[in-house]
Amino acid sequence: MVRDSAPFFFLLFLFLSACSSVDPAEKAAMDMEIERAILWDFRKESRFDRVEVTCRDGVVLLQGMVPTTKDREETVKRAQKAAHKWDSGTEIISELTVE
């Protein structure tokens, strides 16, 4: 018995085309939204005033100074929480220093 493999290849083609990479403009827009979400959360408290947030290709970089070690840890956690609302695969890199 010989099977026709055309339906299989058609479904494979549909699946692969649906998994195509995201447009560069869409990536940039997503990065901007992630940055905004984090900065919006940080604006609530003055201890985050000296924290800079940059997001490129889904990777968030936190730079600047915070008052305490506890604040540094909380900054990373809050950035993760805000970023994961937009993209659960967002990576957070902290280059924060304590005053």
CATH label of the domain that carries residue 31: 3.30.1340.30
- Indicate the number of domains in the chain: 1
- pTM comes to 0.75
Position 8 in a domain: no
Which residue pairs, CB below 8 angstroms and at least 24 apart, start in 68-73?
Answer: 68/98, 69/98, 71/47, 71/98, 72/96, 72/97, 72/98
The mean predicted confidence, pLDDT, of the chain is 84
pLDDT in tens, 62-88: 999 999 999 999 999 999 999 998 887
Q: Which domain holds residue 30?
A: 22-98
pLDDT by residue for the chain (99 residues), tens digit each?
Answer: 445 555 555 554 545 444 546 688 888 999 999 999 999 999 989 999 999 999 999 899 999 999 999 999 999 999 999 999 888 788 999 999 999
Position 42 in a domain: yes
Position 4 in a domain: no
Which pLDDT score is estimated for 96? 97
Residue 86 backbone dihedrals phi, psi, to 5 degrees: -95, -40
The tokens for 28 are: 């940039």
Question: Number of C-alpha atoms within 13 angstroms, CB side, residue 72?
Answer: 14
